[in-house]
Amino acid sequence: MRGARLAILIILLGLAGAGFQAGLVSKAGLGTWVAALLTLAIFSFLYRDNPVYKLAEHIFIGIAAGYFVALEYWNVFLPNLWKPLVAGLEHIEYSPLPHFPNMILLIPFALGILLFTRFFPRVAWLSRWSMAAMIGSYSGLAIIGALQGDLVAQIRANMVPLYSREALTAFGNDGTESLLFGLLELLRNPLIIVGLLTTLIYFFFSREHKGGLGVAAKIGIWFLMISFGASFGYTVMSRVSLLIGRLHFLLSDWLGIVR
């Protein structure tokens, strides 16, 4: 049984190879077919969890993992570690002994290798040194990033006047719609200030949300709900847009029904 399956697989691969070689199947055409079949395999989950979907799902995980390994190899390992480390070997003809100008890079190389001690329980603790170097560096970078990018920048962006002259003159006199948008423009800055303050009060858990604090926290929840609703609407639109894209690919690129 296993031999028969293997034979069928070899025949199919041979046919595909022969077709490819003879120009019967173009590289682009084969790509469209593969993409279409994998798309249908993933869509089959809409019926229920099934072997075809599971196979596609596992292939996807494998490809994604392999993709990132190759990416790390070319974008990080070679340019940042390997090439600088062996650069000294280029001068071997001028010197009896190769010299390594970036010997210090042996430290991150060793720390990287030490990570793999996690596979050996007796020496697994050695991987903590590498983890510590990583966690320490990224914690420091996270502090700087959060300070500069989020905390200070967001507080500064919220330092706005309660109203602006432009907002006062934004009222048009050509109908209800213009009046509505004029009013909304007038409310822009006050709502941004109130929204931020009440949202922060909602996240302040050191005191019970009662009285004035409770009212402010309640208003904060309303702002949060508006934000979640907006995010939800955006997510729905992006997913539907992706779905339209996949259906268009199947009907246009693959089947050629839609032009």
Q: Which of residues 116-175 bind another protein (CB under 8 A)?
A: 116, 118-119, 125, 128-151, 154-155, 157-158
Q: Tell me: does residue 108 bind another protein (CB under 8 A).
A: yes
- Please state, in angstroms and rounded to a whole number, the distance separating the CA atoms of residues 31 and 19: 14
Q: For the purposes of burial, counting CB atoms within 10 Å of the CB of 152, is it exposed (0-12), middle (13-18) or buried (19 or more)?
A: exposed
- Please state, in angstroms and rounded to a whole number, the distance separating the CA atoms of residues 141 and 145: 6
Q: To which residue do tokens 């090439």 refer?
A: 83
Q: Tell me: does residue 54 bind another protein (CB under 8 A).
A: yes
Q: Tell me: does residue 66 bind another protein (CB under 8 A).
A: yes
Report the site for another protein in 75-104 (rule: CB under 8 A).
76-77, 80-81, 104
* CB nearer to another protein: pick between 92 and 106: 106
Which one of 113, 168, 255, 258 is in contact with another protein (CB under 8 A)?
113
Q: Which residue stretch of 12-20, 71-79, 163-171, 209-217 sits at the interface with another protein (rule: CB under 8 A)?
A: 71-79
DSSP H helices, the chain, are 2-22, 27-43, 51-72, 83-86, 106-114, 127-145, 153-157, 165-168, 176-202, 211-248
- Please state, in angstroms and rounded to a whole number, the distance separating the CA atoms of residues 53 and 35: 14
Q: Tell me: does residue 181 bind another protein (CB under 8 A).
A: yes
* CB nearer to another protein: pick between 38 and 87: 38
Amino acid at 195: G
Q: Tell me: does residue 214 bind another protein (CB under 8 A).
A: no
Please work out the total of residues on this chain that contact another protein, with binding judged by CB under 8 A: 121
Q: How far is the CB of 138 from another protein (least distance, A)?
A: 6
Structure tokens at 196: 């931020």
Q: Which residue stretch of 1-9, 87-95, 166-174, 226-234 sits at the interface with another protein (rule: CB under 8 A)?
A: 226-234
Q: Tell me: does residue 24 bind another protein (CB under 8 A).
A: no
Q: Tell me: does residue 68 bind another protein (CB under 8 A).
A: yes
Q: Tell me: does residue 239 bind another protein (CB under 8 A).
A: yes
Q: How far is the CB of 35 from another protein (least distance, A)?
A: 4
Q: How far is the CB of 96 from another protein (least distance, A)?
A: 30
- Please state, in angstroms and rounded to a whole number, the distance separating the CA atoms of residues 38 and 55: 10
CA 244 to chain centre: 21
Distances (CA, A) of 18 to 11, 24, 32, 35, 152: 10, 8, 18, 20, 63
Q: Tell me: does residue 43 bind another protein (CB under 8 A).
A: yes
Enter the DSSP assignment of 24.
Answer: S
Reference 171, options 158, 186, 156, 161; nearest CA is 186
